[in-house]
A = this chain, B = another copy of it.
Amino acid sequence: MERNRRKKLNDKLYALRSVVPNITKMDKASIIKDAIDYIKQLQEQEKVMLAEISELDSLKEEKVSSIGDLDFDDLHFMQRKKKRTAQGSSSSAGSPSSPPIEVLELRVSEMGEKTMVVSITCNKKRDTMIKLCEVFESLNLKVLTANITSVSGSLLHTLFIETDEMGSAQVKEKIEAAIADLDSPRSPISSLSF
């Protein structure tokens, strides 16, 4: 009986050896050692591949969203790929790697004939400042003066702009649209229009 048990155990061991490549020695102990090393190797490889996959996957996401509607994200891809120029702020709008901006409050009020005051409060995440600047620049409103204050996670923007023949409501709409566009860049065109 003991003979049978040993046989089974040996069979298992041979089976183990059969699934492990790079067998150095038929040595019983070496078989197990090789198996251990192999497992560790596989586990590390798994980690690496997993990381790579998720990376490529996120890249793919960008693509997919752009492919149907065309390639805006290719820009990011290119920029990111070239990179090696320091981690620079991932540049412009819509980049999925930078968090969406969260607008807490948006007020637009007329001040005089052609000037109005825009007041935006939002949570300060990475690149928020850039995005807001892009928004203003993309709308190419004439910015007379702007004030940015970041306090404890919030970013307060106050700017005096000059517009011709536009109501405050209209401006507000535009700004809202531009910001929304930034977060979900469904339309590559407007996103490209900076």
Listed in ascending order, the chain A residues whose CB lies under 8 Å from chain B are 5, 8-9, 12-13, 15-16, 19-20, 28-29, 32-33, 35-36, 38-40, 42-43, 45-46, 49-50, 52-53, 56-57, 59-60, 63-64, 67-68, 70-71, 74-75, 77-79, 81-82, 84-93, 126-127, 129-130, 132-134, 136-138, 140, 142-151, 159, 181, 186-190, 192-194
Contacts and interface: CB of A to CB of B under 8 A. Distances in A.
A181 B24 CA distance: 53
11 contacts: A12-B32, A15-B36, A42-B42, A42-B46, A46-B46, A85-B192, A89-B134, A91-B192, A144-B150, A145-B150, A148-B159
Nearest to A33: B12
Contacts of A190: 78-79, 82, 86
Q: Report copies per complex.
A: 2
A81 B56 contact: no
A192 B88 contact: yes
